[in-house]
Structure 1
Amino acid sequence: MFIAIVHGIVLAFGLILPLGAQNVFVFQQGALQPRLYQALPVVITAALCDTLLIALAVIGVSVVVFTIPMLQMCLYLIGFCFLVYMGWSVWNTSSSTDAKEQREFMPARKQILFACSVSLLNPHAILDTIGVIGTNSLQYNGVEKLAFTLACIIVSWLWFIGLALLGKMLGKLDTNGKWMNRINKASAVMIWLVSLYIAYQLVV
């Protein structure tokens, strides 16, 4: 069982470490929200979405999505449209000191909606979860498979909590908002790149 746990931890870190739309959005909200607890909706939503994808990958249900062409096309199209809008919204977020009084922080409902979009409407991320975690889980049974799955899920939760904390630390250091404005632009570009990848998958 120890090997299964270590295996799950290593795989989960390998999948979650690369910079992606989900990671930059959690980091951004951690930095922008006036209190850390106000970023909890995005942290919890992202972690729950990953938990769902990991569980579905391990039991093999998520593979069904990519065996039905019409369902796959709908997922790609919805994901593309929503990520384009999300990128535009993030791009126009201001973090300057002058705008601090007028700035409206993203409410919990919008955080949840956006977090779901970057987590569940990214076919590339879903395929990674199925291909890597789902495939590797096949070598385990019973308690070992459960330990492997829980290890992956725990890494995901700890990672998103850590990202929000890191974002909050940067937000406190960046008193004039200069670096956060750059992060917002970089986040938007990252999200648009994901949407372009999805558009490419639609036409090929």
Structure 2
Amino acid sequence: MIETLLPAFTQGFLLSGGLIIAIGAQNMFVLRQGLKREHVVPIVIFCALADATLIWAGVSGLGAILALVPGLSLILSLGGAAFLVWYGVSALRRAARPTALVVSGEAGLTLGAALAGTAAFTFLNPHVYIDTVMLMGAVGTSMPPMERPLFIAGAALASLSWFSSLGFGARFLAPLFAKPGAWKALDLAIGVMMLALAASLVHGALTA
């Protein structure tokens, strides 16, 4: 039984990890707070719980919605692909003009302000809904019902691992990301990955 269900956990972990490792407003905020060593624990927990909740919502309800509305899957896939193309092109443009991460000596945030900022960077970013509710949800709903909880658990663990590494490991990354070349390399990888994912979405939608 464990051998049968383990791939669902692994797939959730790898897919979630591949989607969330990107330079975005949320990750930049977590990284900056980690560099400042300010409210790192509550910020990491908030981000991980938000991702887990959105993934659970996608796996639990997206399949039913798509089944009730003919053509919605195609619309969402093409819309998601369009956003991913924009995001990928933006990353490639950033790679052409790399900048270093500089943390100034501004006054620290209160816990409430830090969590409010985290919530804004999380829920006001349309990319998070494409990643969690649409993409992760679509993959999860394609699995047998008994495998879905492990898929969600794997995805949630990847999110927690990433944000923990980003927040608590920021102090070790500070010298690296003070160099524009580090951002350039990562943005190049993100741009290529997003464009490839967009192409996969379009192909899947048109051949379904």
TM-score range relative to shorter protein:
0.5 to 0.7
| Letter matched to residue 7 of structure 2 | I
- Name the CA shift for 1:27/1:166 in 2 (closer, same or farther; >3 Å): same
- Name the CA shift for 1:63/1:42 in 2 (closer, same or farther; >3 Å): farther
- Name the CA shift for 1:112/1:61 in 2 (closer, same or farther; >3 Å): farther
Matched, 1:134 2:137: yes
Contact 1:63-1:130 within 8 A present in 2 as well: no
Matched, 1:150 2:153: yes
Matched, 1:21 2:25: yes
1:32-89 Cα shifts (integer Å, max 9, x gaps): 136xxx311211111111111111111126997xx9xxxxxxxxxxxxxxxxxxxxxx
Q: Structure 2 matches for 1:167-178, cutoff 5 A?
A: 167-171=170-174
Q: 1:9 aligns with which of 13, 16, 22?
A: 13
- Structure 2, unmatched stretches of 5+, are 66-71, 73-101, 181-208
Q: CA deviation at 1:142?
A: 3.3
Q: Structure 2 matches for 1:61-140, cutoff 5 A?
A: 95-96=103-104, 99=105, 103-140=106-143
In 1: Cα distance, 2:178 partner to 2:36 partner: 11
1:166-204 Cα shifts (integer Å, max 9, x gaps): 212245x69xxx949x9xxxxxxxxxxxxxxxxxxxxxx
Give the TM-score taking structure 2 as reference length: 0.59
1:116-164 Cα shifts (integer Å, max 9, x gaps): 1111111222122222110001222333111011100111011100001
In 2: Cα distance, 1:95 partner to 1:127 partner: 30
Alignment RMSD, CA only?
A: 2.8
In 2: Cα distance, 1:32 partner to 1:112 partner: 15
> Which runs of at least 4 in structure 1 moved beyond 3 Å after TM superposition?
61-64
Q: CA deviation at 1:30?
A: 0.3
| Letter matched to residue 54 of structure 2 | L
> How many residues matched?
141
In 2: Cα distance, 1:116 partner to 1:61 partner: 23
Q: Structure 2 matches for 1:172-191, cutoff 5 A?
A: 179=178
In 1: Cα distance, 2:27 partner to 2:64 partner: 24
Q: 2:165 aligns with which of 159, 162, 165?
A: 162
In 2: Cα distance, 1:140 partner to 1:170 partner: 37
Matched, 1:43 2:44: yes
In 1: Cα distance, 2:35 partner to 2:61 partner: 36
Give the TM-score taking structure 1 as reference length: 0.60
In 1: Cα distance, 2:19 partner to 2:62 partner: 20
